[in-house]
């Protein structure tokens, strides 16, 4: 039985892909120059979504721009605006709509091109539940440009914060633990005789968080700009403009908005604090688009924001309340702006 399963797995794997020897394929180069690119792109992210431990999730739209100036500098700008922020209510002044923005600069210290074989897909065909892919065995020699840069910048992040997730004693209201304080929250009703009567009611236990941070790290950029004319298949290519980055974040600004309840004129405010703050965070991200043509761009990022320090009795080095994962999809328009680095 086990042998039959292994044989069937090998057979299915062989059916899913077909390799054609390069010697049996005739092709000519149409374009093979990773330096012939447009060094500026402006993007509108029609949709981004984020899963995080502050309020569960958020989604919305964004705007982004990036510029490679000459041989040595990279510039980037990124902003995101929420139109689907979980737990955010305009009627609740304690909550905040999702907002994030950052800008930075990179210093290039590696900018070179090397020839190596890259994969070329000739055709794909779906039959039933299976997809058959035909490609050139061993790939096609192409110039691949590699850029490595040190990068850094400033960012701001604001979001709704779900207090109900905080069961530890580090979150405080008026220097009391959150658990003790939330039972004392009261609002006042005005009666017709203008007297005030204290009445305990259920209030949404949501607030907001604001982080201002510096970031620094390393950026790896790969550019491939290969287009070939394959006999019997037409134009085929391997075109990619991608960034992979790793950053460390440091937050000199970490603020949880004070909690306010009650109608105007009879409001009560609670000073919200957190005893153990971690100023450092980290993130890893990828960004894909094409070097010359307008089209779709994709970005994926995950990490741990600065914020809440891991509790002393926790086995995890990172507080899970800082974790997040984000993905964006957008449309971009590339432009060529001088000075432009061309191959020597």
- Segment 301-330, tens digit of pLDDT: 999 999 888 766 666 666 888 999 999 999
The whole-angstrom separation of Cα 87 and Cα 72 is 44
Residue 79 is predicted with a pLDDT of 96
Q: In this predicted model, what pLDDT tens digit does every residue of 43-83 receive, in sequence order?
A: 999 999 999 999 999 999 999 999 998 889 999 999 999 99
> Using alpha carbons only, what angle is made at residue 306 by residues 300 and 308, rounded to the nearest 5 degrees?
125
Q: Look at the chain and count its residues.
A: 344
Within 132-256, where are the H helices?
A: 178-182
The whole-angstrom separation of Cα 50 and Cα 325 is 6
pLDDT tens for each residue of the chain, 344 residues long: 544 544 445 444 444 456 665 557 889 999 999 998 888 999 999 999 999 999 999 999 999 999 998 889 999 999 999 999 999 998 888 899 999 999 999 999 999 999 999 998 888 887 777 778 888 888 899 999 999 999 999 999 999 998 877 656 667 777 766 665 555 455 444 444 455 555 555 567 788 999 999 999 999 999 999 999 998 889 989 998 999 999 999 999 999 998 887 666 667 777 888 878 889 999 999 999 887 778 889 999 999 999 888 766 666 666 888 999 999 999 988 888 876 444 44
Residue whose C-alpha is closest to residue 53's, from 299, 311, 319 = 319
Structure token digits, residue 103? 């800008």
Residue whose C-alpha is closest to residue 291's, from 119, 76, 36 = 36
Helix (H, G, I), strand (E, B) or coil at 93: coil
């Amino acid at each position: 039985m086990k042998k039959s399963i292994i044989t069937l797995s090998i057979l299915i794997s062989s059916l899913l892909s077909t390799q054609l020897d390069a010697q049996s394929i005739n092709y000519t180069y149409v374009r093979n120059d990773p330096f012939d690119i447009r060094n500026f792109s402006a993007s509108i992210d029609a949709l981004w979504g984020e899963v995080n431990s502050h309020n569960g999730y958020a989604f919305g739209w964004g705007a982004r721009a990036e510029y490679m100036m000459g041989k040595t500098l990279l510039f980037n700008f990124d902003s995101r605006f929420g139109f689907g922020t979980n737990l955010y209510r305009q009627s609740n002044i304690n909550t905040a709509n999702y907002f994030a923005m950052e800008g930075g600069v990179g210093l290039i210290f590696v900018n070179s091109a090397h020839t190596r074989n890259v994969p070329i897909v000739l055709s794909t065909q779906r039959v039933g539940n299976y997809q058959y892919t035909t490609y050139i065995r061993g790939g096609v020699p192409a110039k691949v440009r590699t850029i490595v840069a040190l990068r850094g910048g400033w960012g701001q992040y604001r979001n709704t914060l779900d207090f109900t997730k905080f069961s530890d004693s580090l979150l405080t209201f008026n220097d009391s633990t959150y658990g003790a304080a939330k039972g004392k929250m009261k609002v006042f009703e005005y009666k017709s005789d203008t007297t005030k009567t204290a009445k305990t009611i259920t209030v949404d236990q949501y607030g907001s968080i604001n982080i201002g941070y510096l970031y620094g790290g390393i950026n790896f950029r790969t550019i491939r700009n290969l287009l070939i004319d394959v006999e019997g298949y037409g134009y085929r290519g391997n075109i990619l403009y991608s960034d992979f980055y790793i950053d460390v974040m440091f937050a000199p600004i970490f603020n949880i908005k004070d909690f306010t309840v009650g109608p105007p004129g009879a409001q009560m405010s609670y000073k919200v604090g957190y005893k153990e703050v971690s100023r450092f965070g980290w993130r890893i991200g990828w960004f894909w688009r094409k070097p010359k043509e307008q089209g779709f761009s994709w970005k994926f990022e995950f990490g741990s924001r600065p914020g809440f320090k891991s509790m002393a009795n926790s086995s995890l080095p990172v507080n899970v309340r800082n974790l997040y994962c984000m993905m964006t999809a957008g449309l971009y328009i590339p432009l060529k702006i001088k000075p432009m680095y061309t191959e020597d």
